[in-house]
Amino acid sequence: MGLIAIWQVIVLTCYSMYQIMDELTIQSSLSQPVWAGLIAGLVMGDIKTGLIIGGSLQLTVLGVGTFGGASKIDANSGTVMATAFAIGAGMKPEVAVAALGVPVASLMIQTDIVARFANTFFQHRVDKMIDQENYKGIERNYLYGVLPWTLSRGIPVFLALAFGGPFVRTAVSYMNENLAWLSNGLATAGALLPAVGFAILLRYLPVKKHFPYLILGFIITALFSTVYGNIGILGTTVAGIDTKFTTKFASLPMLAIALIGFAFALLEYKRSTEKSAVVAVEKSSESEDSEEQDGEIHGDEI
């Protein structure tokens, strides 16, 4: 009671139902964990915690895309619940990521499977409507697919947020008092989880082909982040000694690092288009007249 207000439960449930439809259709990025963190943080009144949890889970699932309709770990719902309970029950964000976000996200794979299975029912109704030439019925039964999809996210999120509060609060207070090692361990795990995301992503990328760029990306960033980090520490220390020292040092801008990579990618793109342009010119000189002939034959037939 009092952990999460009813209106918060309803808004977050509605968001969970919307996000899966967004993911299936327009993909505006609203279905991504960072947005889930931002929105859940906004609803719960602590955007920063939401962003930290959303950002961490985003990194954890960085390489997990949907391939060929396979169910993927639902980091969005995981973020919503972890953020709601972290703010509502006073959990540390890193602990919430590992203790709540990840288990919830992987449990939700099951409801995703149920939704994809349930839609088979409507597929068969569409078949029947085609036979009956009921055009409105075809469209209606196609659109009914929205029900399994939204309920697969809405029901678990609603139940957990509405009734999970007391349980989570008891667990959190017990953990903080008696199981400090577990709490610290989960915080470490939360900090470590992005590494899984990076490794999964590498599995999908042609690492061997682009290995030099993996090294470049790592070294450039490792060196700069050390330099930036140390200057930052130096600045804070000096500011602590001398009040006249007011210069603030920004942290390492990730966008700048990414832009260096973008330049590499652009060079690669130019190289390979030039290569393929040469090939295309060679090919087209042979194939152009044969294609024209082909077109004429078709024209004659009709």
Partner 1 sequence: METKSKSTNKITYKLTAKDFRQINFRSLVFNQWGWNYERMQGSGYLYIMMPQLRKMYGDHTPELKSIMKMQNQFFNTSNFFNTIIQGIDLAIEEKKGVKSLETVAGIKAGLMGPFAAIGDSLFAALVPAIMGAIAANMAVNGNALGAFLWMAVDFVIMWFRWIQLKFAYKQGVNLVTSMQGQLSALTDAATLLGVYVVGALAATMVNTQVIYVAHLGKMAVNFQEQIDMIMPKLIPALIVGGIYWMLGKKHMTSTRAIFIVIIVAVALSALGILGKAV
Cβ distance to partner 1 smaller for residue 159 or 233: 233
- Judged by CB under 8 A, the residue of 90, 170, 258, 296 near partner 1 is 258
Cβ distance to partner 1 smaller for residue 5 or 199: 199
28 binds partner 1 (CB under 8 A): yes
193 binds partner 1 (CB under 8 A): yes
- Judged by CB under 8 A, the residue of 123, 173, 178, 237 near partner 1 is 123
114 binds partner 1 (CB under 8 A): no
H, E, C per residue of the chain: CCCCCHHHHHHHHHHHHHHHHHHHCCCCCCCCHHHHHHHHHHHHCCHHHHHHHHHHHHHHCCCCCCCCCCCCCCHHHHHHHHHHHHHHHCCCHHHHHHHHHHHHHHHHHHHHHHHHHHHHHHHHHHHHHHHHCCHHHHHHHHHCCHHHHHHHHHHHHHHHHHHCHHHHHHHHHHHHHHCHHHHHHHHHHHHHCHHHHHHHHHHHCCCCCCHHHHHHHHHHHHHHHHHHHHHHHHHHHHHHHCCCCCCCCCCCCHHHHHHHHHHHHHHHHHHHHHHHHHHHHHHHHHHHHHHHHHHHHHHHHC
181 binds partner 1 (CB under 8 A): yes
67 binds partner 1 (CB under 8 A): yes
134 binds partner 1 (CB under 8 A): no
Span 212-251, contacts to partner 1 by CB under 8 A = 213-223, 225-226, 251
- Judged by CB under 8 A, the residue of 24, 162, 234, 238 near partner 1 is 24
Q: With contacts defined by CB under 8 A, how many residues of the chain interact with partner 1?
A: 122
Cβ distance to partner 1 smaller for residue 5 or 254: 254
- Judged by CB under 8 A, the residue of 3, 4, 12, 59 near partner 1 is 59
Query: Considering the complex, what minimum distance in angstroms separates the CB of residue 2 from partner 1?
Result: 26
* Interface segment toward partner 1; rule CB under 8 A; list 21-29, 159-167, 169-177, 240-248: 21-29
- Judged by CB under 8 A, the residue of 3, 9, 30, 172 near partner 1 is 30
Query: Considering the complex, what minimum distance in angstroms separates the CB of residue 125 from partner 1?
Result: 9
